[in-house]
Structure 1
């Protein structure tokens, strides 16, 4: 007689408070918060340094160490989630292909690129686990991250006229920049624009929390407007239009409507003339040269971390101002298509879960990033940067929602059996 097949019980859901000691999970949450806020709050090095070097060094202790500890401690649970998730497998293949492409890259070291690939994987898995196991803590983390960014925006606005920047070009043009890794108006506009998008979808309780949310949104909006980053403007507006059309909650629609009304007022008072004066900023010509680079190396690309140049007249750019074409240039069509597949899953999952707060945040961030990626912020395979808020954070939220549904289904099956 055959023995009945007994399925091994699935690993218990992720819970920071039961997986780690109190000091351990508080340390990890601090590192996750610093990963968001430290982009603008970390000290700036001299011209030889990467402006974000102190920030990256601090994250090794504040985020990477406790995150690695958690993943190793619950390796069976993480392994089980990976085995059951299509998007995690796509991510693993994407990171593996990126790392292999380092072998023929014209710049960089394979060891550094492997470190970046592991860093990205650790970030996505850790943030997904918090979103799945501690959704309320995750929402609070995003809320206080946006508040921290709003405070840095206020500091940048107040001190901008007297600051000594790496380049005085931004001050001459009157384009506001922030601190740390955000000493560029486009990058700063994207970071603070992403914070606007997720903060506008956050539901808070209590009068003073509502007041803090509104004040933070106002400070972030003023900053994004004064960066004169048209891509950030367009991305924020597209996300708000999406929420106005798809959100089911009146307060979410109201916030989106207010942001759109303020934008319409700004456009009417002169914003349109600024957009018209700057024109297309050579984007069609840049896209054509990017496509030529893709056709020159369609299957293997230039390799992760490679340097290339796009030149139009006397102007030179070190990237294609488009995340999708940049991925294809670096990683070839295989890498580009893998990224597109992951990104479509993120958007589809945001649409499915648009009825809950975290799902709304995901959908709005996906729309924001999809629009912004058409114009700038192309480099995803590097240490924590603005691009992580736009690319890897939505992917982590998407995975977290999927894992949370798996936990709920498993609990219901147990209840039915009982």
Structure 2
């Protein structure tokens, strides 16, 4: 089979499309990198710290994702730039990232170069994934599907070897809270990642029987895994998201699937889960919020600076973050910076609601609701290298921008088509 060549004559306004823009080996390479971005979180080697997914994972992304992504962005740099600056969410993203990078100048433990690199990484991720959503929505859904399958295989392996595994945090093993590997070597982060995967996989329609079987088995494995993490915030996020999809979805099969998952989740909570929730109580969340607000009051306008270190202590417990994305962001970059992110997040939610009638829009809405609930309890850091909280924050934005770009492309094609038909002979 001859290799597909990229179209080198790209005209302004031409829609994004992997097959037209890049050679086959490059866009295959890029799609592999995008798949590894998600699956590698759970399959990458464990680093020395809980929050470090391991250097090999990030080094591999330079080759598998950053290199082909930069190729595509450079090839279509004019179009990427116009679209990023032409939308309100693109401009808000740039404002937020610029302010966060600038704030690292006065941070007590910040490095301007690191923050700038992280900001460029986020922009590259958002616009490349948005371009795939806009130009190749079917491929994007297949990418999410196979990423969920990969994550479920890792979850099955993690559950199988968990009883005999030696963890660096023994309390999780004594508590029976299952974890995965790499960046997901933490029960809460693992539950958030697998909860998000459950959200998007339940919204993807597949046609062949064997893919239905794969989808069902993957969902069963991931649901069991999330239950075994004993992460109450992930349980709540799944319940709220599935309840939202039950009300918002227009298709009967989507409503039925949401109803089944919601019913099974409620049964699981009723038979054991609720007792566990009562025993653990609020986990100091009100006290943590009070201390986080104290940090915000000390530096309300410009924050401590992105990358700063701070601590919150309640009784004998010590934390290095506020267990809430919005308060943590306000501590880092001040209330104005936090409000910019909130505005950006609300735009994503509104667009998810508008596009709930299509499969990609439903994936976006389910993940956005799940992330919004999860953000209230944990996963605080947005400005770092790829991690669970990083994806929960920026993947919905990329999907939202991609849907907006696709609508714009459709309107342009319809306008051009009408112009040709109305042209006199």
The residue aligned with 2:151 is 149
CA deviation profile, 1:298-345 (whole Å, cap 9, x unmatched)? 010000111000011211110000000000000001110010000000
C-alpha distance 48-148 of structure 1, shift in aligned 2 (>3 A): closer
The residue aligned with 1:356 is 358
C-alpha distance 49-411 of structure 1, shift in aligned 2 (>3 A): closer
Equivalent pair of 1:11/1:76 in contact (CA under 8 Å) = no
CA deviation profile, 1:339-382 (whole Å, cap 9, x unmatched)? 00000000000000000000111111110000000000010100
The residue aligned with 1:223 is 225
Distance 1:411 1:319 in 2: 48
Distance 2:293 2:270 in 1: 36
Distance 2:91 2:269 in 1: 44
Matches within 5 A, 1:169-248: 169-248=171-250
Matches within 5 A, 1:16-27: 16-27=18-29
Matches within 5 A, 1:27-42: 27-42=29-44
The residue aligned with 2:385 is 383
Total equivalences in the alignment: 410
1:101 to 100, 103, 112: 103
Distance 2:184 2:52 in 1: 11
Distance 1:389 1:48 in 2: 17
TM-score normalised by L of structure 1: 0.96
Matches within 5 A, 1:4-403: 10-46=12-48, 50-403=52-405
Equivalent position SS for 1:337: helix
CA drift at 1:47: 5.5
CA drift at 1:167: 1.5
CA deviation profile, 1:14-56 (whole Å, cap 9, x unmatched)? 0111111110000000000000000001122346993332111
Equivalent pair of 1:309/1:318 in contact (CA under 8 Å) = yes
Equivalent position SS for 2:313: strand
CA drift at 1:83: 2.7
TM-score normalised by L of structure 2: 0.95
Equivalent pair of 1:45/1:54 in contact (CA under 8 Å) = no
Q: Which has the higher mean CA deviation after the structures are superposed, 285-294 or 38-47?
A: 38-47
Equivalent pair of 1:350/1:362 in contact (CA under 8 Å) = yes
CA deviation profile, 1:214-235 (whole Å, cap 9, x unmatched)? 1000000000000000000000
CA drift at 1:251: 1.2
Equivalent pair of 2:16/2:132 in contact (CA under 8 Å) = yes
The residue aligned with 1:3 is none
CA drift at 1:268: 2.0
Equivalent position SS for 2:250: coil
C-alpha distance 385-332 of structure 1, shift in aligned 2 (>3 A): same
C-alpha distance 142-119 of structure 1, shift in aligned 2 (>3 A): same
Equivalent pair of 1:194/1:389 in contact (CA under 8 Å) = no
